[in-house]
Structure 1
Amino acid sequence: MFYPKSGEIILLRIVKILLILSVALWGILGLFHNLIDWGGSIGAVNATTSMATVEGGTGHWKATTNPAVIFAGAFFIVFFKLIVTLTCFGGAWRMWKSHGCDAATFATAKTLALTGCGVALFMLFTGWIVIADTWFELWRSDVLSDAALGSAFRYGGLIGVIALFVGMHDE
């Protein structure tokens, strides 16, 4: 049976830290862009909730242009990206401080980082798949289906793989 040397374990842990930092970077860049282009963020949520990009969508009983709903959707995105950013940066810091420790200590340090990945998955799945795709039928939109849903699926899939990889035992 192969047992990795301690240097290999340290290197693996550093890779895990870098992956969590990449999720934090995704969160902070997304947060930054959503805030500096708040009008675009509101517009994207409005296009989804009004069902304007779906044939016959604006007349559908589920379509809404209610400003409170649109603001809540944009706020949901920004709020959860902030949480992802903070938990992943905090988790990466904890992981870095314990990267030379025993497996149990390092595993405990990963908890906050994995929480950040879970929050990102929650935001992407609930916001884009459950609400936008299922409720507001974004899958029928030729304009937003690939752009919005494709990105959400790609981000969620990669963040999920990162979480699985980071969550694996080191020893």
Structure 2
Amino acid sequence: MTTRFVIRLSKCILTFSVGLLGLFIVIGNTTDYHTNFQFVQHVLSMDTTFPGNAMMYRAITNDTFHHFIYLLIIFVEVLITILCFIGSCDLYRHLNSPSAEFHHAKRYAIAGLLIGLLLWFLGFQVIAAEWFGMWMSKTWDGTSSATRISLYIISCLIFISIKNDD
């Protein structure tokens, strides 16, 4: 087994692991819709942030909008899952291909990882935590989970994107 093969295989496995993470999250969000919906509802409503904070003008209390955002999140998670699974299959099929072909096979993996980073960093860290003050909530603060997922995905994205298998 060559170093090149191990590097390529690890890129395939890491992409698959993000797809599996996405799948498990989608399953959780759809099979326990109400519980997970409450997270979105409370974050957007800002009803568990510090009392009297000056950011309350940002709160969105419309239940229809809450459901729309939650369904959008689930749709994006499904997209991440599909792209990462396709990406890992493409990488696996090209394990022994020339470097240019293997690098080209990264496109779905990179797209899935980028969208994952956008969801868990931009969506949860930037918009939910900072704009809607999720960090203020003792009950509905998802910043630690979003940080954990974002750090894993950015690490995978960097490793998979670089050409280090020549």
Give the TM bin, normalised by the shorter chain: over 0.9
Distance in 2 (alpha carbons) for counterparts of 1:66 and 1:58: 20
- The corresponding residue for 2:27 is 32
TM-score (norm 1): 0.90
Corresponding position of 2:130: 134
1:108 is aligned, of 104, 109, 114, to 104
- The question of 1:18 aligning with 2:13 is answered yes
1:123 lines up with 2:119 in the alignment: yes
TM-score (norm 2): 0.92
Are residues 58 and 70 of structure 1, via their aligned partners in 2, closer, same or farther at CA, if it must alter by over 3 Å? farther
Question: Within the alignment, does 1:160 sit opposite 2:151 as a pair?
Answer: no
Q: Could you list the per-position Cα deviations for residues 14-66 of structure 1 after superposition, in whole angstroms to 9, with x for gaps in the alignment?
A: 11101100000000000000000110121000110111211226992222220
Which residue in 2 is equivalent to 1:3? none
Q: Where does residue 62 of structure 1 map in the other structure? A: 58
CA distance in 2, matches of 1:41, 1:123: 16
Residue 50 of structure 1 corresponds to: 45
- Structure 1: 4+ residue segments shifted above 4 A: none
- Across the aligned residues of Structure 1 and Structure 2, the Cα RMSD in angstroms comes to 1.7
Cα shift readout 1:150-171 (whole Å, capped 9, x = no counterpart): 1001101111101111112111
Match of 1:149 in 2: 143
Q: 1:98–1:109: 8 Å Cα contact kept in structure 2?
A: yes
- Work out whether 1:9 is the aligned partner of 2:4: yes
1:54-79 per-position Cα deviation (integer Å, ceiling 9, x unaligned):
12269922222201221122112101
Residue 101 of structure 1, CA deviation: 0.7
Contact preservation (8 Å) 2:39, 2:140: no
Residue identity matched to 2:37: I
Aligned to 1:61, the other structure's residue is in SS state helix
Unaligned runs of 5+ in 2: none
Instruction: Pick the aligned partner of 2:91 from 90, 95, 109.
Output: 95
The one-letter code of the counterpart of 1:127 is G
Gaps of 5+ in 1: 1-5
- Cα pair 2:43 2:134 within 8 Å, conserved: yes
| Residue-pair matches, total | 164
Q: What one-letter code is carried by the residue in structure 2 that aligns with 1:12?
A: I
